[in-house]
């Protein structure tokens, strides 16, 4: 550990706790600590990195604020996971107009297709691949209370998701992102979404069981793993007749 102030001219000053944050991040990326696992205590990390507990604390605070770690008083600090979270779907902002998300329970999934294709220019750009690289393409419908509510097209880098099958997509109980963690070691930590109102194609309307002119909410999501590496492009069409997309601003 080098203190930044000793690095010379225009040292691009980086506080110690930021460096510690980086080191902890390395542990997460490298898989030293896996999703759901307990990381060493603040004191242990402080000893390992030769800094005070307070410095480790500040580093962990920021990682917890970014949802990469979860602190539990009396127990320790855990690596966040898309599995076993109280919120079933961490990235899904669709809420029922009446009632609570918990009442609906998990969505019913219907996988329509899952195949390997060459990335289009657009998909390649979104996933930072060379166009022509293989991607896994999945199409599925999610239903709440028997009503098909979401039609999703998902593109994943073929490299990282070798061996992903339709069966796997259909059978895994729990969030898809949890399956990605478990079966492929791919952890989504952040996502950007672009929303638009669109008119569905006839096929899209059919799959969602709506009339041909029903406006739908188009949600284009790019999900990133560590270091802002994009690992998923997902285009969702949401029915918003009984649900809405919820967002909080501050």
| Residues at the contact surface with its own copies, assessed by CB under 8 A | 65-67, 90-91, 93, 189-199, 213, 215-218, 221, 238, 240, 244-250
What is the C-alpha to C-alpha distance for residues 76 and 45, in angstroms, rounded to an integer?
Answer: 12
Minimum distance, C-beta of residue 86 to DNA, in the bound complex (Å): 14
The nearer residue to DNA, 61 or 220, going by C-beta atoms, is 61
Please choose which of its own copies, DNA, none residue 248 contacts, taking the beta carbon within 5 to 8 angstroms, the exact cut-off set by kind: its own copies
* Residues contributing to the site for DNA (CB under 7 A): 3-5, 11, 13, 15-18, 39, 41-44, 51-55, 57-58, 71-77
Between helix 42-49 and helix 53-65 the angle, nearest 10°, is 120
Minimum distance, C-beta of residue 97 to its own copies, in the bound complex (Å): 8
Minimum distance, C-beta of residue 172 to its own copies, in the bound complex (Å): 21
The nearer residue to DNA, 7 or 87, going by C-beta atoms, is 7
Please choose which of its own copies, DNA, none residue 216 contacts, taking the beta carbon within 5 to 8 angstroms, the exact cut-off set by kind: its own copies
According to DSSP, residue 228 is labeled G
Residues 6 or more apart from 44 whose CB is under 8 A from it? none
What is the C-alpha to C-alpha distance for residues 64 and 82, in angstroms, rounded to an integer?
Answer: 14
Please choose which of its own copies, DNA, none residue 31 contacts, taking the beta carbon within 5 to 8 angstroms, the exact cut-off set by kind: none
The nearer residue to its own copies, 48 or 194, going by C-beta atoms, is 194
Please choose which of its own copies, DNA, none residue 37 contacts, taking the beta carbon within 5 to 8 angstroms, the exact cut-off set by kind: none
Minimum distance, C-beta of residue 15 to its own copies, in the bound complex (Å): 12
Please choose which of its own copies, DNA, none residue 167 contacts, taking the beta carbon within 5 to 8 angstroms, the exact cut-off set by kind: none
Q: Identify any residues that bridge with 154 across adjacent strands, giving them in sequence order.
A: 138, 234
Beta carbons within 10 angstroms of residue 133's beta carbon? 15
Show the tokens assigned to 215. Answer: 């406006």
The nearer residue to its own copies, 133 or 220, going by C-beta atoms, is 220
The nearer residue to its own copies, 149 or 158, going by C-beta atoms, is 149
Minimum distance, C-beta of residue 62 to DNA, in the bound complex (Å): 10
User: Alpha carbon of 68 to those of 34, 38, 79, 139, 246: distances in Å?
Assistant: 11, 12, 6, 28, 22
The nearer residue to its own copies, 155 or 238, going by C-beta atoms, is 238
What is the C-alpha to C-alpha distance for residues 166 and 139, in angstroms, rounded to an integer?
Answer: 10
In this structure, are residues 50 and 1 in contact, taking their beta carbons and an 8 Å threshold? yes
Minimum distance, C-beta of residue 34 to DNA, in the bound complex (Å): 16
What is the C-alpha to C-alpha distance for residues 57 and 45, in angstroms, rounded to an integer?
Answer: 9
What is the C-alpha to C-alpha distance for residues 162 and 137, in angstroms, rounded to an integer?
Answer: 12
In this structure, are residues 155 and 123 in contact, taking their beta carbons and an 8 Å threshold? yes
């Amino acid at each position: 550990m080098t203190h930044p102030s000793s690095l010379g001219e225009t040292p691009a000053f980086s506080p110690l706790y930021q460096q510690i944050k980086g080191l902890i991040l390395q542990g997460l990326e490298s898989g030293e600590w896996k999703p759901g696992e307990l990381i060493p205590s603040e004191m242990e990390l402080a000893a390992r990195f030769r800094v005070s507990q307070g410095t480790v604390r500040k580093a962990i605070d920021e990682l917890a604020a970014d949802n990469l770690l979860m602190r539990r008083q009396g127990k320790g600090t855990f690596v966040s996971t898309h599995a076993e979270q109280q919120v079933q779907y961490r990235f899904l902002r669709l809420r029922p107009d009446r009632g609570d998300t918990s009442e609906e329970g998990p969505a019913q999934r219907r996988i329509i297709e899952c195949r390997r294709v060459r990335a289009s220019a657009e998909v390649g750009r979104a996933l930072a691949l060379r166009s022509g690289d293989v991607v896994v393409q999945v199409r599925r419908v999610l239903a709440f209370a028997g009503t098909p509510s979401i039609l999703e097209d998902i593109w994943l880098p073929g490299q990282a998701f070798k061996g992903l099958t339709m069966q796997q997509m259909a059978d895994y109980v729990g969030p898809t992102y949890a399956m990605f963690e478990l079966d492929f070691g791919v952890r989504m930590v952040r996502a950007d979404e672009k929303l638009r109102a669109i008119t569905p194609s006839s096929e899209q309307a059919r799959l969602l069981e709506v009339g041909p002119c029903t406006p739908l909410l188009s949600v284009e999501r790019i999900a990133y793993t560590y270091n802002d590496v994009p690992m998923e492009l997902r285009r969702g069409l949401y029915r918003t007749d009984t649900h809405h997309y919820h967002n909080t601003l501050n």
